[in-house]
Amino acid sequence: MSAPFILVNLKTYKEGMGNRAHQIATAAQLVSRETGALIGIAPGYIDLHPLCHHFAVPVYAQHVDGCAPGANTGHVTVDAIKLAGAAGSLINHSERRLTLADIESSVRALQSQKLSSVICSNNEMTSAGAAALEPDYVAIEPPELIGSGISVSKANPDIIRRSVSIVQKVNPKVKVLTGAGIQSGECVKIAVDLGTDGVLLASSVVKAVDPVTILRELVSKL
């Protein structure tokens, strides 16, 4: 099995933009090198290109539109993020929900450019629906726990277990991430022990005074 994937979503936090995004990327690169952990970051679009070019960590878009290049204003195509150097994209985050048709077209567009796709889901059944679209990852995040400070690993291990099981059944090639409230090495370890391939997290890293310390803590029990 490959190393668990720790994907840090910088959202539009003030503490995740510009210089501060560079600082988090620096921390991700450092802790990856120290520990062998696979740590990626998902910055805003403006920071995407510079981070891709200055750091040897996987950089993801937070959202991508599946539409082809053309007459689409305010959209972000897979071509655009590929050109920027992105490794992949989140799709259907709870703060940016898409239609089923748009989720699918985003996955196809990413695959056609050999980029990685992470579909966010909200419960075990939508995890199954997402897995049937053949993304690289499904990231299950119970919406009520996002940003709550309560870890899904501890509050609802059953939803993780059932999501892993149903995703396995629908498509065993699809990996599972878990998110919502992840904030310690113990949360990450529980998530991995429950059968997931990593975690999606945001505020606990982005708002940390020292991103190196929290990233070391997150991978400490692996």
Active site amino acids: 93, 141
Among 22, 30, 35, 45, binds a copy of itself (CB under 8 A): 45
Phi, psi angle pair for 22, to nearest 5°: -60, -40
Contact 87, 114 (CB under 8 A): no
Among 26, 29, 35, 123, binds a copy of itself (CB under 8 A): 123
Among 27, 87, 115, 133, binds a copy of itself (CB under 8 A): 133
Among 35, 79, 186, 222, binds a copy of itself (CB under 8 A): 79
> Looking at 29-37, 97-105, 191-199, 208-216, which segment touches a copy of itself (CB under 8 A)?
97-105
> Looking at 95-103, 150-158, 187-195, 209-217, which segment touches a copy of itself (CB under 8 A)?
95-103
CB of 118 to a copy of itself, least distance (A): 11
126: contact with a copy of itself by CB under 8 A: yes
**Rounded alpha-carbon distances, angstroms, from residue 51 to 67, 75, 184:** 24, 20, 25
Q: Annotate 122-148 with DSSP letters as a single string.
A: SSHHHHHHHHTT--SEEEE--GGGTTS
- The 3-state DSSP class for residue 54 equals helix
74: contact with a copy of itself by CB under 8 A: yes
Q: What is the DSSP letter of 95?
A: T
80: contact with a copy of itself by CB under 8 A: yes
Amino acid at 135: P
190: contact with a copy of itself by CB under 8 A: no
Cα 157–Cα 158–Cα 162 angle in degrees, nearest 5: 125
Cα–chain center distance at 156:
19
Here the tokens at position 39 are: 């740590």
> Looking at 31-39, 131-139, 156-164, 186-194, which segment touches a copy of itself (CB under 8 A)?
131-139
Cα 218 to Cα 16: distance, rounded to the nearest angstrom: 18
Amino acid at 14: K
Give the binding-site size for a copy of itself (rule: CB under 8 A): 66
Cα 78 to Cα 82: distance, rounded to the nearest angstrom: 6
Among 31, 110, 115, 128, binds a copy of itself (CB under 8 A): 128
Q: Which residues bind a copy of itself (CB under 8 A)?
A: 9, 11-14, 17-18, 42, 44-46, 48-50, 61-63, 65, 67, 69-77, 79-81, 83-84, 90, 92-104, 107-108, 121-123, 125-126, 128-134, 146-147, 170, 202-203
